Structure 1
Amino acid sequence: MAVTLDEQLLEILACPSPDHAPLTRGTPDDPDADALTCTECGRQYPVKDGIPVLLLDEATEPTGDSATATNGV
């Protein structure tokens, strides 16, 4: 199920990491996922019962080549 947030709310929401980048609906793998993805760091934040959970502890770290590059491995 796709995230249904008011456009004005989505415009003011930002990633709670230090870069405070805008968020987009869904994930790169699933645009209909109940999540918001940071446009800068790639963290994915769950949306539970229509409420975005913008806590770094609840975020899913990005996977793939970009995650390996940021970890220096």
Structure 2
Amino acid sequence: MDHKLLDILVCPVSKAPLVWNKETQELLCYASGMAYPIRDDIPVLLESEARTLTAEERLKEK
């Protein structure tokens, strides 16, 4: 994930910063509790494509 791009991307729901999860290849938003997929190196920032973070994932917030 390009760090310059990550610096300007925000969650479309909460407008909060996104955190890249390298293991799952997702952008996480702890404010909205959503995880957005990255497909072919392109972030898919659509609420309809996102999944809800689990309670365990929300506890990992840094």
Normalised by the size of structure 1, how large is the TM-score?
Answer: 0.68
Counterpart residue number, 1:20: 15
SS of residue matched to 1:15:
coil
Q: Which runs of 5+ in 2 are unaligned?
A: none
Matched, 1:57 2:48: yes
Which whole-Å CA distance do the structure 1 matches of 2:55 and 2:30 have between them? Answer: 16
Which whole-Å CA distance do the structure 2 matches of 1:7 and 1:53 have between them? Answer: 16
Matched, 1:39 2:30: yes
**Which has more radius of gyration?**
1
What percentage of aligned pairs have identical amino acids? 42
- Structure 1 stretches of 4+ with a deviation exceeding 4 A read none
Query: Alignment length, in residue pairs?
Result: 57
